[in-house]
Amino acid sequence: MARVWTVTSTTPTQEDAIAIAKTVVGERLAAGGEITGPFLSVFWHLGELGEGQEWRVNLRTSAFYRDRLAARVGELHPWESPEVTATPVEWCSESYAEWVERTTTDPDSV
């Protein structure tokens, strides 16, 4: 299993994306994150075709915290059924993987 994972979600506003990123990084579930946008999204929702502006938040975490981070993003998200996906980072430098693992360590256990 990959040591480093990217958990991704999209939000309706930049403020929502920033709030999610700040919360999960502050809780040490993610080592860091990037927010990009706005971009146009096209989707099927509530029986009809829709489109809207969204912001993407990519969060880096360790394998240990991947599922906990994904669940927390879902809790913080303003949408009822948000997109929350996780992708393994197939390769990264050893020092980066160590930083992610060290940063996402429970501060009470250190």
Rounded Cα distance, 97 and 88, in Å? 12
CB burial of residue 5 (10 Å; 0-12, 13-18, 19+): buried
Q: State residue 110's pLDDT score.
A: 44
Domains, the chain: 4-104 (3.30.70.120)
Question: pLDDT tens across 49-104, in order?
Answer: 999 999 999 999 999 999 999 999 999 999 999 999 999 999 999 999 999 999 99
- Please tell me the distance from the alpha carbon of residue 45 to that of residue 36, in angstroms, as a whole number: 23
Tally the residues of the chain: 110
Shortest CA distance to 34 belongs to which of 22, 52, 50? 22
Q: pLDDT (tens digit, 9 = 90+) per residue, 29-54?
A: 999 999 999 999 999 989 999 999 99
Q: What is the amino acid identity at position 3?
A: R
